[in-house]
Amino acid sequence: MTKRILVVEDNDLNRKLFCDVLQAGGFSVEPVADGNMAIERARIFAPNLVVMDIQLQDVSGLDLIAILKHDSDLSNVPVLAVTAYAGKGDEERIRESGAEGYLSKPVSIGPFMAAVKGLVDAAA
């Protein structure tokens, strides 16, 4: 069965890149540009993984991760945080919000796919 990945990213180029790379890797992908739609789309799409930008225009990715982790239907879905926040303490703060994975931008394809596959396989 094809694994499903929800990509929450408000930057058009980053969202297209993530989706193209994931689709090429054999995943079914649902892109979300508006952070306010992320939880609703996750409930409908039932992803095996959420790739979450932290610095969204309209809502904090940290808040979205917390909402996901407190939702009985979505709490077991792993989250890979992908962010330009790469300062001291940022990874720890992001992981404390509930993210199982963390990558700083700019993202290289190899480490990105390794992180995705590791989280999807661990959740299977």
The model's pLDDT over 58-85, given as tens digits with 9 standing for 90+, comes to: 899 999 999 999 999 999 999 999 998 7
Q: All domains of the chain, ordered by start, with CATH?
A: 4-123 (3.40.50.2300)
pLDDT of residue 123: 86
- What's at 108, amino acid-wise? S
The model's pLDDT over 14-47, given as tens digits with 9 standing for 90+, comes to: 999 999 999 999 999 999 999 999 999 999 999 9
Q: Has residue 99 got a pLDDT over 80?
A: yes
Tokens linked to 36: 């306010």
pLDDT of residue 86: 74
pLDDT of residue 14: 95
pTM, full prediction: 0.96
The set of residues, in sequence order, having a beta carbon less than 8 Å from that of 82 and lying 6+ positions away, is 9, 14, 18, 51, 52, 53, 54, 103, 104, 105, 107, 112
